[in-house]
Structure 1
């Protein structure tokens, strides 16, 4: 009888000590998750190409859930995620200051259109002569950026003017070569 108890104790101890390494082999360190088609590894595991298996279904363990070919952690850690604000539609016509200013040779001009309108933006030199038409078209509601290349103009101060549905605004820009 005593030999059966000793055997039982050894069996329990063997089970307790040997199960820890087996559990350790099932674990993947939380720091190695890629959530995409890249290879990741830890000291015990390696995952390569987990992308593109949409019919896998769901399988899970205490720390991981595999769904549709991707690994997800169940403890709620999310990294590198930014909340994107929904774009606000403009409520008024606007003409923003160009950037960079002063510039050489390209700059960006931003304008807002609150309703579908014919928009014209023209560039004038300091004497009032029109030197370029930057925009002359119909635009839908939105915020727009135009890039202006002034490679063929001389250094100096210029004025750009927007006209759209009764709205008129001007801004100065400086070209330095």
Structure 2
């Protein structure tokens, strides 16, 4: 049985603690020992912050019949795709697919030729997407 300061085995089968040390045993009979005060006590919580290049707001009115406004803001000039999907994931409308300058937009959407129910609006800008739920009352 070896007693070393570094783990060379990838199959650790046992961990035990004392007040001063942590011990790890492997299936090959090796034991790793390290002072408890030399080991990390936790994992830092890192937040991934994606650059906010656009904001999609809830449509108004919602529920709607037969028209609503879909509002969004672009922080920079971008290619924009605004798509409406039914609950089965089928795209039923694409009110906007164009390069747009930075600014605020209100895009009217009519559900006059659709059945009442739930629909989803997806805004895609520069490879990032946000979605909102639309409710059409008939």
Could you say which TM-score interval applies, normalised by the shorter chain? Answer: 0.5 to 0.7
Question: Which stretches in structure 1 are left out of the alignment for 5+ residues?
Answer: 1-90
CA RMSD of aligned residues (A): 1.0
Question: Does 2:72 correspond to 1:108?
Answer: no
Equivalent residue number for residue 119 of structure 2: 158
Structure-2-length-normalised TM-score: 0.61
CA distance in 2, matches of 1:124, 1:157: 9
Structure-1-length-normalised TM-score: 0.48
User: Which one of 88, 109, 118 corresponds to residue 148 of structure 1?
Assistant: 109
**How many residues of Structure 1 are paired with residues of Structure 2 in the alignment?**
87
User: Which one of 100, 110, 115 corresponds to residue 139 of structure 1?
Assistant: 100
Q: Highest relative contact order (Cα 8 Å, sep 6+), 1 or 2?
A: 2
Deviation at 1:134, TM superposition (A): 1.3
Matches within 5 A, 1:1-177: 92-177=53-138
* Larger gyration radius, structure 1 or structure 2: 1
Q: Which has the higher helix share?
A: 1
